């Protein structure tokens, strides 16, 4: 006599099947912006500033980033939940910050972490550049490096929080992306020479009256 012991193992209740279908349909994958694209404008709110520098000193309330930059901007995303990767990135940015300025650029760190948590995690570092908290990953979403339905922890071992993938952009004052480096698998180091070259070229174009 045949057994029906596993007869229901391959079946799901109707409501569960409907749930699966909706999840697949509504899933939005990470889709990073790249060089040649334009980053949608975003606002910086004073309450989300972690550390000021020349780029953020004039911020009083919600202010468009386009009102704050008049030269190339290195926009670097960060999270303490990237663990040693995040710490290494901060050290690399610290090392290259002076060179970015010499090449005519500015640097803004966009972190997933509120000021208290960020400062606790980076207490051993002296970071001279501006940094802000990207509340609810709003800026990362605009850059296409974060999606709540395509979590990084679903594919990267050791990352247990809902955070974006690493990315560094060089933006012109009009927010056109002159350079991009996106690390989907947390396996790259900062490409210092390429980054500095992009900053210099963007700054050089602007100084010669070329629309940027």
100 within 8 A of 196, measured Cβ to Cβ? yes
In a domain, 10, yes or no: no
CATH number at residue 118: 3.40.30.10
**Per-residue model confidence (pLDDT) at position 72:** 98
* Continuous segment of H or E residues that includes residue 100: helix 84-102
- The beta strands (E) that lie in the chain are given as 43-44, 49-51, 63-64, 73-78, 106-111, 130-133, 167-171, 177-182
In a domain, 152, yes or no: yes
**Per-residue model confidence (pLDDT) at position 206:** 52
**Per-residue model confidence (pLDDT) at position 27:** 78
In a domain, 145, yes or no: yes
Number of domains comprising the chain: 1
In a domain, 156, yes or no: yes
In a domain, 40, yes or no: no
In a domain, 5, yes or no: no
Taking only the tens place, the pLDDT of each residue in 29-66 is 999 999 999 999 999 999 999 999 889 988 988 999 99
- Using CA atoms, how far apart are residues 166 and 79, in angstroms rounded to an integer? 8
Taking only the tens place, the pLDDT of each residue in 144-154 is 999 999 999 98
**Per-residue model confidence (pLDDT) at position 205:** 85
Q: Domain containing 160: what range?
A: 57-207
**Pairing label, strands 106-111, 167-171:** unpaired
**Per-residue model confidence (pLDDT) at position 7:** 40
**Per-residue model confidence (pLDDT) at position 15:** 39
Query: What is the pTM assigned to this prediction?
Result: 0.85
In a domain, 27, yes or no: no
- Using CA atoms, how far apart are residues 169 and 152, in angstroms rounded to an integer? 19
In a domain, 179, yes or no: yes
For 205, residues 6+ apart whose C-beta sits below 8 A from its C-beta are: 212
Instruction: Classify each residue of 53-67 as buried b or exposed e, where b means 16 or more C-beta atoms within 10 Å of its C-beta.
Output: bebbeebeeeeebee
Which residue numbers in the chain have pLDDT < 50?
Answer: 1-22, 207-212
């Amino acid at each position: 006599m045949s057994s029906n012991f596993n007869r229901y193992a391959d079946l799901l209740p109707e409501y569960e099947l409907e749930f699966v279908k909706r999840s697949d349909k509504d899933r939005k994958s990470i889709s990073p912006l790249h060089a040649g694209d334009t980053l949608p404008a975003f606002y910086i709110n004073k309450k989300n500033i972690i550390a000021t520098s020349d780029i953020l000193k004039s911020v009083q309330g919600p202010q468009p980033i386009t009102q704050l930059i008049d030269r190339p901007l290195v926009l670097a995303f960060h999270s303490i939940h990237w663990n040693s990767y995040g710490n290494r990135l901060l050290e690399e940015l610290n090392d290259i910050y002076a060179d970015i300025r010499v090449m005519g650029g500015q640097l803004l760190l966009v972190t997933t972490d509120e000021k208290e948590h960020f400062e606790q995690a980076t207490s051993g570092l002296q970071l001279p550049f501006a940094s802000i908290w990207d509340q609810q990953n709003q800026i990362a979403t605009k850059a296409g490096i974060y999606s709540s339905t395509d979590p990084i922890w679903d594919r990267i071992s050791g990352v247990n929080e809902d955070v974006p993938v690493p990315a560094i952009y060089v933006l012109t004052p009009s927010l056109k992306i002159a350079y991009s480096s996106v690390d989907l698998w947390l396996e790259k180091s900062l490409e210092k020479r390429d980054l500095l070259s992009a900053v210099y070229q963007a700054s050089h174009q602007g100084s010669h009256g070329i629309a940027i």
